[in-house]
Chains A and B, each alone.
Chain A
Amino acid sequence: MFSRATLLSAIAIASLVAAAPRDSAVIVNSGSTNTIGYSITVWSDGAASLTTQNRDGSATGPAKSFTVPAATAARFFADLATAKNSNAVTVPCMKSASFGSSMHVKWQGWVSPDLECPAKTSAGDALIKDVDEIRQASGLAQQPLRQHPPQ
C-alpha cells in the first residue's frame, strides 16, 4: 500500500509533468517554382504533423500526423538551442533558379539560417541532420516534390 504522502507526491509530479508546456518548432521548406514546399511542426514529445503547401503558403491538402522517435526529438530541440546561440550555422549559397528551395526552422522566436545551404559549424551540421531525420520520419518521398509531376 502507498502511504498518503507518497500518493500525493506522485499526483503532484504527474500534475507538473502534465502542466509543462510542450515545446514545438516548425520546419518550413519554401518550395520553388517547380517543387512543392512543406511545413513540419514537431513537438518535444515526438508528436509531429506535416503539411505540404504551395509557394504562397496555402496547403495542398490536410495535415498528416506522424511520430518522431523520442531520441530524435530530444536531440533536435537540444541542437536547436545550440544553433540559436551560434546563429550563423550555415554559409550563404546559390540556389537553382527554378528548383531551389530554402529551409528554415522557427523556434521560440528564432529563425534559423537556410538549412539547404552547407553547414558552417558543427551546430549547423547537427541541425541539418536532425531535420533530415524528421523529414524521413514524415514519409516525405525522397523523390523531389514536383509541382508538375511526370505525365
Chain B
Amino acid sequence: MRAFILSAVVAVAAILCAGCNGGLQQTALPGMGSQPVGQAPGAQAPESSAAPETSDSSSDQPDEPPVTSARPGAPQPAARPSMSTPGAHSPQRHPPARPVFHNACAQPASPGSRACASLVRVQARRACSKTAPYCASDLQAAYGVAQAARARGRGVVVAVVDAYGYPSAASDLAAYRGSMGLAACLQSSGCLKIVNQSGRTSPLPKPNADPSDDWRAEEAVDLQMVSALCPNCRLLLVQANSDRDTDLAAGVNAAAALGAAAISNSYGSDESNAADAAYAHAGRAVTASAGDAAAHQPCSYAGVVCVGGTTLTAASGRWVERAWRSGGSACSEYVARPSWQRARGCAMRSVADVSAVADPSTGVAFYESAGGGWQQAGGTGVSAPIVAALFALEPSAVRANAPAWLWRHGRKPPKMGGT
C-alpha cells in the first residue's frame, strides 16, 4: 500500500548534500559538462522506469513504478527494479493530443432520472502536450498513483497556506479540474474552503497590489497540484494577511486547527532560527519548498517534510527523473540533524527530504486567470503541494512523524565519498 508514496520518495539520496561540510551552501555540481544534471562522475545512471500513461486514459492503467531523483551533486541511486503490476502495459509514448470531452451537466444523472447528455469539448490540450507542461494524469502516472488517486483521499483535508488574497481561486480551480477531467471541487459542496489566517471565511485578504510579488499564481499552483495528485481530497486554502512569517505561521496553525491532514507551504526565507512551533503538528504532514536557489525555512525545520525539485521527462516510454540543478539543497545552519535523518553529508539537518518535479522546463500546466489563463510553471512551489497530496493518499504516513516516516520507508542512501 505504500507503493505509491514510496514512488514519491524520490530518492532519499535527495537529502544528501554532496559538497556540504556543515555550512550552509549550495551544492556543488561535480561531473557537469557532458554528464547529466546531478550525475556524479562514475555514478550509475539515474533511471527509473515507468511507462507513461496516455494523457487521458489513466483510469485504465495500473499504478506505475516509481521515479527517482537525486540532488545536484549527490551520487545517483542505482536503477530501481520495476515495481510494475503484473500485466502492466508496455512502455509507450504519449499519443497525439486528443480533444477531451466532459459532460455538460454538473451532476451525473441518478438512476431513473433524465440526464443531460451533452458533451462539452474543452481545450485541455491547449494547456498540455506530449511532454511538459504536464497534466494531472501525467503526474499521476509519473508518480504511480493513478489508481490510488481514484480510490483514496475522500474526506482527507489538504491545506495550502499562502499570503494575500486570490479572489478567482475557486473559478480558476474549476477551470483546471474541468480541463483535466477531475470532478468539480466547489465551495458550495464543502470540497473547497477558503479562510483567512484566523481560520475564518471572512474577511479574506486582498491580493497583493505589487505585480512583482503576486501570490495568486502560487496559490493556483498549490491548489491545482493537490487536485492533480489527490482529486478526492478536500482543499483548504489559507490566505495569510501578508508575507510576514508571523502571518504565514498563523495560517499554518489555522490549517491544523481546521483538521488538515497535510499542510503545504510553498514559500520560505533565509534561515534565521532553529524551530517554529507553528510548523510542528503531530499527526499531520507539513511540507515546505526547499527553495529554488538556496535553503529556506520553514523547510529546514525538523518536523517539516522538505521538498526539493527534479526534472521529469518521459523518454523512450519511461518516466525519468533527475535532479533539478536550481533546487535548494544544503545543510542547515540552525537545525540539528534529526535522529531519523540518515544523510551523511551534513553535520546539521540536510535539506531536502524528498523531491518531485520542479524544473520549469519540464513544468506543470496550471490555470490562473489574472496571469492570462493557462501557463506552465516550475519550482519547488510545485513540488511541495505534490508531496503533500501524496501524503494525503497514505494516512499511515500522515499519522506518523512525516519526515521520519519518509526516511524509514525510503531507500537507503548510497555512501558518500569525500564529504
Residues of A within 8 A of B (CB): 29, 32-35, 91-101, 103, 116-118, 132, 135, 140-144, 146-151
Residue-wise, chain B 112-136 has the 8 Å CB interface mask toward A (1 for contact) of: 0000000000000011000001000
* Contact between B217 and A95, CB atoms less than 8 A apart: no
Q: Is residue B62 contacting chain A, with contact meaning CB distance below 8 A?
A: no
* Contact between B269 and A93, CB atoms less than 8 A apart: yes
Q: Is residue B60 contacting chain A, with contact meaning CB distance below 8 A?
A: no
* Contact between B162 and A96, CB atoms less than 8 A apart: yes
Query: Would you give the shortest CB distance from B226 to chain A, in whole angstroms?
Result: 15
Set of chain A residues within 8 Å of B373, measured between Cβ atoms: 150
Which 5 pairs show the lowest CB-CB distances between chains A and B?
A: A98-B379, A98-B381, A97-B289, A150-B372, A97-B381
Set of chain B residues within 8 Å of A29, measured between Cβ atoms: 212
In the complex, A100 Cα to B267 Cα: how many Å?
Answer: 8
In the complex, A93 Cα to B269 Cα: how many Å?
Answer: 7
Residue-wise, chain B 208-232 has the 8 Å CB interface mask toward A (1 for contact) of: 0011111101100100000000000
* Contact between A146 and B212, CB atoms less than 8 A apart: no
* Contact between B371 and A98, CB atoms less than 8 A apart: no
Nearest CB to that of B370 among chain A residues?
A143
Nearest CB to that of B307 among chain A residues?
A97
Query: Would you give the shortest CB distance from A102 to chain B, in whole angstroms?
Result: 9
* Contact between A116 and B218, CB atoms less than 8 A apart: no
* Contact between A33 and B378, CB atoms less than 8 A apart: yes
Of the candidates A35, A91, A94, A147, which one forms a contact with B212 in the assembled complex, judged by CB atoms under 8 Å apart? A35
A98/B218 contact (C-beta < 8 A), A116-B212, A144-B211, A150-B373 known = yes
* Contact between A94 and B269, CB atoms less than 8 A apart: yes
Of the candidates B133, B270, B381, which one forms a contact with A99 in the assembled complex, judged by CB atoms under 8 Å apart? B381
Q: Is residue B40 contacting chain A, with contact meaning CB distance below 8 A?
A: no
Could you show 8 A-B contacts with beta carbons less than 8 Å apart? A33-B381, A34-B378, A96-B267, A98-B381, A99-B377, A132-B210, A144-B214, A146-B375
Query: Would you give the shortest CB distance from A52 to chain B, in whole angstroms?
Result: 12
A-B contacts, CB under 8 A, total? 134
Q: Max chain B CB contacts within 10 Å: which of A92, A97, A143, A144?
A: A97
Nearest CB to that of B163 among chain A residues?
A94
In the complex, A95 Cα to B269 Cα: how many Å?
Answer: 6
Query: Would you give the shortest CB distance from A104 to chain B, in whole angstroms?
Result: 12
Query: Would you give the shortest CB distance from A7 to chain B, in whole angstroms?
Result: 51
Q: Is residue B360 contacting chain A, with contact meaning CB distance below 8 A?
A: yes
Chain B interface, DSSP helix/strand/loop, else mixed: mixed
Q: Is residue B384 contacting chain A, with contact meaning CB distance below 8 A?
A: yes
Set of chain A residues within 8 Å of B384, measured between Cβ atoms: 97
Set of chain A residues within 8 Å of B269, measured between Cβ atoms: 92-95
Residues of B within 8 A of A (CB): 126-127, 133, 162-163, 210-215, 217-218, 221, 242-245, 248, 266-270, 272, 289-292, 296, 326, 358, 360, 363, 370-382, 384
Of the candidates A91, A97, A135, which one forms a contact with B380 in the assembled complex, judged by CB atoms under 8 Å apart? A97
Query: Would you give the shortest CB distance from A68 to chain B, in whole angstroms?
Result: 18
Set of chain B residues within 8 Å of A93, measured between Cβ atoms: 242-245, 269
Set of chain A residues within 8 Å of B163, measured between Cβ atoms: 94, 96
* Contact between B326 and A100, CB atoms less than 8 A apart: no
In the complex, A93 Cα to B378 Cα: how many Å?
Answer: 22
Set of chain A residues within 8 Å of B358, measured between Cβ atoms: 98
Of the candidates B270, B290, B360, B381, which one forms a contact with A148 in the assembled complex, judged by CB atoms under 8 Å apart? B360
In the complex, A99 Cα to B210 Cα: how many Å?
Answer: 12
In the complex, A67 Cα to B373 Cα: how many Å?
Answer: 32
* Contact between B211 and A141, CB atoms less than 8 A apart: yes
Set of chain A residues within 8 Å of B363, measured between Cβ atoms: 148
A150/B375 contact (C-beta < 8 A), A93-B244, A141-B211 known = yes
Nearest CB to that of B326 among chain A residues?
A33
Q: Max chain A CB contacts within 10 Å: which of B163, B267, B326?
A: B267
* Contact between B268 and A94, CB atoms less than 8 A apart: yes
Query: Would you give the shortest CB distance from A89 to chain B, in whole angstroms?
Result: 15
Set of chain A residues within 8 Å of B127, measured between Cβ atoms: 151
Set of chain B residues within 8 Å of A33, measured between Cβ atoms: 292, 326, 360, 377-379, 381
Query: Would you give the shortest CB distance from B331 to chain A, in whole angstroms?
Result: 19
Query: Would you give the shortest CB distance from B98 to chain A, in whole angstroms?
Result: 17
Nearest CB to that of B296 among chain A residues?
A97
* Contact between A144 and B217, CB atoms less than 8 A apart: yes
Set of chain A residues within 8 Å of B292, measured between Cβ atoms: 32-33, 97-98
A97/B371 contact (C-beta < 8 A), A34-B377, A148-B360, A151-B126 known = no
Set of chain B residues within 8 Å of A118, measured between Cβ atoms: 242-244
Query: Would you give the shortest CB distance from A128 to chain B, in whole angstroms?
Result: 8
Query: Would you give the shortest CB distance from B272 to chain A, in whole angstroms?
Result: 7
In the complex, A151 Cα to B126 Cα: how many Å?
Answer: 7
Of the candidates B210, B213, B291, which one forms a contact with A97 in the assembled complex, judged by CB atoms under 8 Å apart? B291
- Beyond A33-B360, A98-B217, A99-B377, 20 additional contacts (C-beta under 8 Å) are A32-B292, A33-B378, A34-B217, A92-B269, A92-B270, A93-B244, A94-B248, A95-B267, A95-B268, A96-B267, A97-B292, A97-B381, A98-B379, A99-B381, A116-B212, A116-B213, A118-B244, A142-B211, A148-B376, A150-B371
